[in-house]
Structure 1
Amino acid sequence: MVFQAVGLMSGTSLDGLDICFTKFEKKNTAWTFQILQAETVPYPKYWEDQLRNSINLPAEKLLELNSEYGFYLGQLVNAFIEKYQLKDIDLISSHGHTVFHQPQKKFTLQIGDGRAIKIETGLPVIYDFRTQDVLMGGNGAPLVPIGDELLFPQYDACLNLGGFSNISLKNNHKRTAFDIAPVNIILNKLVQKFNRSFDENGELARTGKINNSLLDKLNSLDFYKDYHPKSLGVEWCQEHIFPLFENIGTEDQLATFTEHAAVQIAHAVNENNLRTVLCTGGGTYNTFLIEKIKQKTTAAIIIPEKEIIDYKEALIFAFMGVLRLNNEINVLASATGSTHDHSSGITA
């Protein structure tokens, strides 16, 4: 079986839209993949502002944005297809952009209506991968472990450093996964004070000093005591993280939060006796953070080629769409905490 799919991923850090066109092949029970084309389309200021503010919109405006953003995604896919002269596309698989994520209240919302993408592109679209899992009692996250299990089985664990850090690993022959701590969702917000969208290589954080009182408060947050499966959202950061930063210089905030993230990530690695950890996501380029993690663990932190660092999530969402198309399991209950493994996603 051979499938070619476009995966779309918009992360909480608002770097832009990741678009990944991948060929998947299944022989017997083993899957292989080949990324054929991929790029990140930075959001223009209008869309960055719209998505950043979406959490504050009244219901009518949010519904309007859901449709508008869906058509925008379709336009970006059309431009991508034309640019690379792509052919034989079986489906588009879209994660959407997360506005709300409160699984304990049985809801999560990713905007970017898949029906609008289909109308714009004329191609089959699969979208809304998280809601079904949340309704089944799961966290609706993390979803990428199915890709880690079937596409990257050679590593003990896969660590993603994006808006949030999450990890997936084999434990007693079951793949478990969980969010570890916020990363870029906090660091990127802090460096906006310097008119930067991110702290390149962690250079600003490197100039700061660790505030031990703040570090203790961060490491003492109840979330870190909870057993997995567990997941984080923007709302949690607004309630629990940002209020702790008062009266501390920004460079020191950056240094302290980087230390905090490294402590929590290394703890997750060490606690599970991991030896080989594949590290991907935008935070992988934060050399200061990577140094801090390596200092705190003996595990091999493996940095792959740029294509995998940047597009692993979009790749896996494309894969999830292919699995859904075939009605195969694409969400693991051992990772999300739902009642059972299932095949999730709405087909437009």
Structure 2
Amino acid sequence: MMLTAIGLMSGTSLDGVDVALIETDGRQVRAFGPSGYRPYTETERSLLRHALFEAKDLPQRDARPGILREAERAVTLAHAEAVAAFTAQNRISCSDIDIVGFHGQTVLHRPERKLTVQIGDAAALAKSIHIPVMHDFRAADVAAGGQGAPFVPVYHRALAQSLQREGPIVVVNIGGVANITYIDGPDTLIACDTGPGNALLDDFMYRVMNQGFDTEGRLAAQGRPDEAWIARALEMPFFALPPPKSLDRNDFAALKLPEMRADDGAATLTALTAAAIARIVPLLPKPPKSWIVAGGGARNLTMLRMLRERLQPATVEAADALGWSADAIEAQAFGFLAARGLKGLPLSYPATTGVPIPMTGGIIARP
């Protein structure tokens, strides 16, 4: 039975809430609906940055001391506003939606401590939007010893199967953290985080240029990467680990650039993301034939150029070129995951998160 689902995603880059409608039975995608976006205000973004800092010392996953309680209220309200605007703009009735997949805002991801924390009050959201909300997708995976990330691979596989092209295919999502899904036929699905995505670059742009990100990679295009610094950064033990593996946004906070011009700094951090993605190739069963880039990094033309240089002879293309939505793909994925969760289908697998057996997940909050 096909379900109509709305997926909501607020990623580690702290830019805002993506909304997307999808028709799916949790195995295949019948149709993409419209998508939307509700940016965080600068005040909200500042609050979330503060919450990320405070969350480092959280003793347990349901604790919300001080600023985290305030941040959770802000996240919940932003998502409620995002759904209200989306349904109004697209003339969608709440009764037409079977389920909403609500990821929440990750503030701490420490799978080695069996701890992953996404803030956002699903019960309050469900009451506000009058639609059942599935949330807490990662908790069961982490509790069972999995990495709890990445969680989008089952959706990437559904998309890749519709392409009918020879594998292996890798879908790389470049958000705050970059992650890959390796697909080779119906049975081989491997996934992991590869390293920093846009987080270090965005933080650098904010600090040095007072801009949220490097638009189209224009600043990086004028600079020269410090390859020696990149080589040293890639000596961090994480990069040599085989998949599955995952990261917290702050895991690379210790990577400090030496004094350099702004364009060289942007070029270096962009090249680090590309080099970290390329570093995964020897750890995969076979070299991929094609790479499909989604997430905010797909709009960074310098990032795409650097990936092509480092991944040749494989092809590298942006998800939009295939008719996919680079911006909405993760929101669509959480609509897809909500449909899978409703049907009791697995959301994660041993080769995607390291969980011992295929795991379902998600908890439903009803209006």
TM (norm. structure 1) is: 0.92
Is it true that 1:224 corresponds to 2:239 in the alignment? yes
Counterpart in the other structure of 2:61: none
- TM alignment of 1:304-319, pairs within 5 A: 304-305=319-320, 308-319=325-336
Instruction: Say whether residues 1:53 and 2:50 are aligned partners.
Output: yes
C-alpha contact (below 8 Å) 2:38/2:78 kept by paired residues: no
Q: In structure 1, what residue type is equivalent to 2:114?
A: K
266-275 or 228-237: bigger deviation:
266-275
Deviates more, 1:170-179 or 1:272-281: 170-179
1:115-126 matches, within 5 Å, as 115-126=123-134
Structure 1 residues 99-128: Cα deviation after superposition (integer angstroms, max 9, x where no partner): 001111110111111111111111100011
What are the Cα deviations for residues 179-209 of structure 1, in whole angstroms up to 9, with x where unaligned? Answer: 1121210111111121211111211112222
Tell whether the 8 Å contact from 2:5 to 2:336 is kept in structure 1 after alignment.
Answer: yes
Q: In structure 2, what is the equivalent of residue 188 of structure 1?
A: 202
Q: Which residue of 1 aligns with 2:90?
A: 84
- Separation in 2 of the partners of 1:48 and 1:95? 17
Where do 4+ consecutive residues of structure 1 move more than 4 Å? Answer: none
Aligned to 1:139: 147
Residue 274 (str. 1) matches residue 288 (str. 2): yes
2:14 corresponds to which residue?
Answer: 14
The amino acid across from 1:291 in the alignment is R
Partner of residue 254, structure 1: 266
Cα distance between partner residues in 2 of 1:103 and 1:135: 8
Quote the Cα distance in structure 2 between the aligned partners of 1:194 and 1:60: 31
- Gaps spanning 5+ residues in structure 2: where? 55-63
* Backbone CA RMSD of aligned residues: 1.9
The corresponding residue for 1:44 is: 41
Which secondary structure state, in structure 2, belongs to the residue aligned with residue 310 of structure 1? coil
Change in 2 beyond 3 A, CA 1:72/1:282: closer
Give the 3 Å change call, closer, same or farther, for CA 69–262 of structure 1 in structure 2.
Answer: closer
SS of alignment partner, residue 59 of structure 1? coil
Percent of residue pairs identical = 29
1:31 is matched with 28
Higher helix fraction (1 or 2) = 1
Moved more, 53-62 or 293-302: 53-62
**CA distance 1:254–1:68, shift in 2 (3 Å):** closer
Give the total of aligned pairs: 342
Distance change (3 Å), C-alpha of 1:196 and 1:334: same
CA distance in 1, matches of 2:159, 2:304: 24
Which of 68, 71, 75 aligns to 2:77? It is 71
In structure 1, distance between residues paired with 2:67 and 2:303: 38
Q: Which 10-residue stretch deviates more, 271-280 or 312-321?
A: 271-280
Equivalence map 1:191-202=2 (5 Å): 191-192=205-206, 193-202=208-217
What whole-Å deviation, never above 9, does each CA across 1:40-70 have from its counterpart, x for those lacking one?
A: 1111122111112112337243134324422
CA distance in 1, matches of 2:319, 2:107: 30
Give the whole-Å Cα distance in 1 for the aligned partners of 2:268 and 2:250.
21
**Given that residues 160 and 166 in structure 1 are in contact (C-alpha distance below 8 angstroms), is that contact kept between their aligned partners in structure 2?**
yes
Q: Is the 8 A contact 1:136 1:339 kept in 2?
A: yes
Matched, 1:203 2:218: yes
Q: Does 134-143 or 256-265 show the bigger shift?
A: 256-265
CA displacement 1:266-325 (0-9 Å, x = unmatched): 333465311122211110111111111111221111323275111111101100001111
**Correspondences of 1:233-252 after superposition (within 5 Å):** 233-238=248-253, 240-241=254-255, 244-252=256-264
Q: Residue 343 in 1 paired to residue 357 in 2?
A: no
Separation in structure 2 between the aligned mates of residue 114 and residue 12 of structure 1, nearest angstrom: 19
**Other-structure match for 2:173:** 160
One-letter identity of the residue aligned with 2:77? F
- Cα distance in 2 for residues equivalent to 1:284 and 1:150: 20
Deviation at 1:227, TM superposition (A): 1.5
Indicate if the aligned counterparts of 2:44 and 2:74 stay in contact, CA closer than 8 A. Answer: no
Q: What secondary structure sits across from 1:38 in the alignment? A: strand
Unaligned runs of 5+ in 1: none
Aligned pair partner of 1:331 in 348, 358, 361? 348
TM-score, length of structure 2 as denominator length: 0.88
Q: Which residue among 178, 199, 222 is the counterpart of 2:192?
A: 178
Q: Could you say if the C-alpha distance between residues 24 and 212 of structure 1 is closer, same or farther in structure 2, counting changes exceeding 3 Å? A: closer
